[in-house]
Amino acid sequence: MPPITRRRLLGAGGALGASALLGACGPGPGGPAGAVTIWNNLADAKQNAYFRKHHVGKYRGPRPVRFSPKPSGTIDRLIQTALAAGGGPSIIVTPGPSSFVSAYDSAGYLADLTPYAQRYGWRKKFAPWALAASEVDGKLVTLPASYETMAFYTNPATLDDLGLEPPTTREEFENFCTEAKGRGYIPLAAGNADYKGANEWFAGVGLNHGAGPEAVYSALRGETKWTDPVFVDAIDRLASYFRKGWFGGAVDLYFTNSFPTVYRQLATGKAAAMISGTWEFATLPVYFGKSAGNDATWEWNTLPSLGDDVPRVVWDLAIGQSAGINTNFEDTAAAADFLDFYTTDVRTIIAGVEEMNFAPPPVRIRASDFSARADRRIARLYSELSAATSIGYTTWTFFPQQTETYMIDYFENVITGQMSAKQYCQGIATRFVAEKSKGAVPTAPKPGGGLS
């Protein structure tokens, strides 16, 4: 349940066996006195202390648990180095099913969790789509430790000044951006100076909301080609929005805008809106309201439909963190017991959402689970998401890793006009076909089936 996702910090690399980092890896599996060990990347010392006290310290199981905080920028390489050396933490975390899970499983690092699914009732506790995406060749190898979705963020005071409402359709979205741009506002605060991977957030939005979840699901199953005009047109249309300066103010500014710049643009009213993930719940309080020394507020809405025959409401599903058990650890059953607590103890999960803005695992959460102190916006998000009936597919959860990496790396070529949308989609298709033939595509749920 990390509040700061590696979705924004994960590099495209991360090769196995980075021996230079080996000395920084700490104890091997089991840790001190045979404890279950977990490395995690939280935002700051306050969140580390909270996690240690509530998610580790309150666990009562067959073995003690030891938590070691790691930097978000290096945790994956640290884990990979330690695994290659026969060590590593008992609990292996990754930034979702698309990142490293298949490689870890192929290397024999992940224990088979299938027997524990029945023991702990995970099929009833978790949303079925999330468990399905956590399987490799029909074997459950990780559990979803957090989930997230994309949202359309606004500063209500700015929209009042503009006389605009959050858009729900392509026509409304284009009018929204045209009006904001024409009046000197940045239509959508955006930038990837801090994290190139932000490109996949927007590429995914272009596919799920421009081509539609039915088309994406069909392509993930290998039935529709990624070169189909429905995808080419969606990417081409999205790229045209960038070239109009709707994202970040201009294409060159998109490459230089840092995340603090993006948040300040939204908070100060320089930008009309922002498209990003629900991981921003942990970030926005720094820039809005009393803690930021202003009276600015923020709100979220679902993303607008950007294509013909695309539902007005599509919830992009994403697993922000996957957690498995290291086969080097001597007591898989003890690690599974902690993993069950870490991912399914609703009281601890809700408290973490309310007090630290942690993203919860995709377990069944009701509005009544939240207390009166909960942020109404966050409680509303997870309540509505739990009841979603139309879902989309994020690249970091449902696309194979090499395809995902390509989509991040080459998206910039499309928005700068160095590559056509057709060429970009051909590149997606080439890599996807190769990875699908190897069984590297995570399982995706049907688009209209909801979350339950």
Q: Which CATH number is 67's domain given? A: 3.40.190.10
Tokens representing 333? 């059953």
As beta bridge partners, residue 223 has: none
Residue 382 has pLDDT above 80, yes or no: yes
Query: Does residue 101 sit in the same domain as residue 232?
Result: no
Query: Does residue 113 sit in the same domain as residue 177?
Result: no
The answer to whether 9 and 76 are in contact (CB under 8 A) is: no
The answer to whether 211 and 154 are in contact (CB under 8 A) is: no
Query: Does residue 121 sit in the same domain as residue 158?
Result: no
| Mean of pLDDT values over 57-83 | 94
Query: Does residue 156 sit in the same domain as residue 138?
Result: no
Percent of the chain topping pLDDT 70: 92
Residue 282 has pLDDT above 80, yes or no: yes
Confidence of residue 416 (pLDDT cuts 50, 70, 90): very high
Residue 332 has pLDDT above 50, yes or no: yes
Q: Which residue has the higher pLDDT, 9 or 248?
A: 248
29's enclosing H/E stretch is: none
Q: Tell me the Ramachandran region of residue 443: left when phi exceeds 0, alpha when psi lies from -120 to 50, beta otherwise.
A: beta
* SS3 state at 271: strand
Query: Does residue 89 sit in the same domain as residue 213?
Result: no
Q: Assess if residue 20 is contained within a domain.
A: no
When mean pLDDT is compared across 129-138, 289-298, 382-391, the lowest value belongs to 382-391
Q: Assess if residue 11 is contained within a domain.
A: no
- So what's the pLDDT on residue 386? 76
Residue 427 has pLDDT above 70, yes or no: yes
Query: Does residue 355 sit in the same domain as residue 271?
Result: no
Q: Assess if residue 10 is contained within a domain.
A: no
- So what's the pLDDT on residue 235? 98
Q: Assess if residue 373 is contained within a domain.
A: no
Rounded to whole angstroms, the Cα distance separating 131 from 142 reads 8
Query: Does residue 197 sit in the same domain as residue 244?
Result: yes
Q: Which residue has the higher pLDDT, 137 or 51?
A: 51
The answer to whether 38 and 56 are in contact (CB under 8 A) is: yes
Confidence of residue 8 (pLDDT cuts 50, 70, 90): very low
- So what's the pLDDT on residue 7? 47
Residue 3 has pLDDT above 80, yes or no: no
Which residues span the domain enclosing 405?
149-316+392-437
| Mean of pLDDT values over 377-390 | 86
Query: Does residue 264 sit in the same domain as residue 166?
Result: yes
- So what's the pLDDT on residue 134? 92
**Which of 264, 292, 278, 255 shows the shortest CA–CA distance to 153?**
278
How far is residue 247 from each of residues 184, 193, 240, 445, measured CA to CA in Å? 13, 13, 10, 30
- So what's the pLDDT on residue 256? 98
Q: What is the mean pLDDT of the chain?
A: 90
Q: Output DSSP code: residue 57.
A: T
**Which of 172, 105, 165 shows the shortest CA–CA distance to 139?**
105
Helix axes 401-415, 198-205, angle to 10 degrees: 90
Q: Assess if residue 8 is contained within a domain.
A: no
Percent of the chain topping pLDDT 90: 75
Query: Does residue 173 sit in the same domain as residue 214?
Result: yes
Query: Does residue 203 sit in the same domain as residue 307?
Result: yes
Phi, psi of 206 (to 5 degrees): -60, -40
Q: Assess if residue 324 is contained within a domain.
A: yes
426's enclosing H/E stretch is: helix 421-437
When mean pLDDT is compared across 31-35, 304-308, 435-439, the lowest value belongs to 31-35
Q: Assess if residue 452 is contained within a domain.
A: no
The answer to whether 295 and 289 are in contact (CB under 8 A) is: yes
Residue 191 has pLDDT above 90, yes or no: yes
Confidence of residue 152 (pLDDT cuts 50, 70, 90): very high
| Mean of pLDDT values over 399-415 | 96
The answer to whether 451 and 386 are in contact (CB under 8 A) is: yes
Confidence of residue 28 (pLDDT cuts 50, 70, 90): low
Look at residues 308, 342, 363 and tell me which one is the last residue of a structural domain: 363
Positive or negative CA dihedral for 10, 15, 21, 27?
positive
- So what's the pLDDT on residue 127? 86
- So what's the pLDDT on residue 13? 34
Rounded to whole angstroms, the Cα distance separating 150 from 306 reads 14
The answer to whether 385 and 149 are in contact (CB under 8 A) is: yes
- So what's the pLDDT on residue 189? 98
Domain count, the chain: 2
Query: Does residue 163 sit in the same domain as residue 279?
Result: yes
**Which of 437, 435, 368, 372 shows the shortest CA–CA distance to 402?**
435
Confidence of residue 30 (pLDDT cuts 50, 70, 90): low
Residue 11 has pLDDT above 80, yes or no: no
Residue 385 has pLDDT above 90, yes or no: no
- So what's the pLDDT on residue 18? 35
Query: Does residue 184 sit in the same domain as residue 269?
Result: yes
pLDDT digits (tens, 9 = 90+) for 366-379: 878 899 989 999 98
189's enclosing H/E stretch is: strand 186-189
- So what's the pLDDT on residue 14? 35
Confidence of residue 451 (pLDDT cuts 50, 70, 90): low
Q: Assess if residue 41 is contained within a domain.
A: yes
Helix axes 401-415, 421-437, angle to 10 degrees: 180
The answer to whether 438 and 139 are in contact (CB under 8 A) is: no
